[in-house]
Amino acid sequence: MTLQTHILVRAVWLLAVLAVFASAGEVTPPQGAVRNLTVGDFMPHPNVGKDFNETWSYQFVFDNGTRAFVNYALLQVPASGQKVACDMTFWNFKGKTYTVGRQYPPERLKADKNSGTIDIKGEYKMENKPGKGHRVYFTADKGGKFLLDVTFESAETGKVIGNGVWNVGKEKLGQYIHIPYGRVSGKIAYNDDTLTVKGYAYMDQIWQSAQATDMVRRTINFSTNARTPMYAGRVSLSTKGELMGYVIYNGPEGAKVARPTSLKDGGSDYDGKKFPKETFEIQWTDGVPALTFAVNKTYQKASLLDKIDSWVARQAMKLAAGGEILFYRGRSEGPQAKKIDWAVTGVKD
């Protein structure tokens, strides 16, 4: 072999090696065995970047047909800095939809690990660690008087994979499904109308070391209206189209935790660049049956900007996120005639 040929062969080999590394996935799942969640997982996590954000999310589906969506968050708001954001939407509250969002300085959030409680200004609470006896309290007076005060009468055990942290390139995303399914009771109110309610709820928590849209292209979360068969979880597509997230499935063989292997919309591979429009299908690891449900009808479209107070901050948030972030929410038929309550989040098409 001549020197020139040797150099050429080495160059081709090097290019091949580089191509392998270049095509390697940017997403690495959590390491470690599936475990039950602890109060430590529920507490706020250390700030690991200038754009660190963390959200505790609840979806309440009441037997009277009303739904409530509650989010407590630590957010980096462009032009405003870090804020505690509290927002709630009532859907079908006596046939109407009402939304409220408030912001406060981060020092208003107080977390007590001993009692398992996170308190914001005394007006918003996540009291007692997630599980039976967990209480969610939300009261606000802005564009109307809002109240939600409900307690979990029962709750399926929350689970996580290892430390719950996904590596997405050089960034990190933590994900914890604290309450995959639980029965709740309490009261909700808007202005002078107060309703006594019962129903079911789902709750999870996400933290990210960077702005969500710098890491994730689209997110789908879902829960069922019964504890068996139960699908509860959240899956996401990275900005490069790679899958992350997990589901807690309760079937004939008991509870399993599985990761997604493929997403399809209308029978075609789903890349997350736009909101899905047809029948959505998620395939899983570990023998968990595929989850299929229609996403062609939404009963609410909400905006992240509902959380932001000032016009300047809303415009800055849109610019930082690459557009307006929307939440498409709906309910569809799921497995064995159970209902799937779902939400798809991402930048407006």
Model confidence pLDDT, tens digit, residues 115-138: 999 999 999 999 999 999 999 999
Coil, strand or helix: which one is 45?
A: coil
Over residues 279-319, the pLDDT tens digits come to 999 999 999 999 999 999 898 887 766 655 655 456 655 55
Cβ burial of 16 (10 Å; 0-12, 13-18, 19+) is exposed
Half-sphere exposure at residue 137, Cβ-oriented, CA atoms within 13 angstroms: 15
**For the whole model, what pTM was predicted?**
0.89
Over residues 145-175, the pLDDT tens digits come to 999 999 999 999 999 999 999 999 999 999 9
Of 289, 302, 293, 292, the residue nearest 329 (C-alpha): 302
DSSP 320: H
Beta strands across the sheet bearing 291-294: 268-269, 260-265, 279-284, 291-294
In the numeric block, the tokens 């690891």 are attached to: 285
Pick the residue with more confidence: 331 or 318?
Answer: 331
At 151 the pLDDT is 98
Distance between CA atoms of residues 136 and 70, nearest Å: 9
In the numeric block, the tokens 């996400």 are attached to: 206
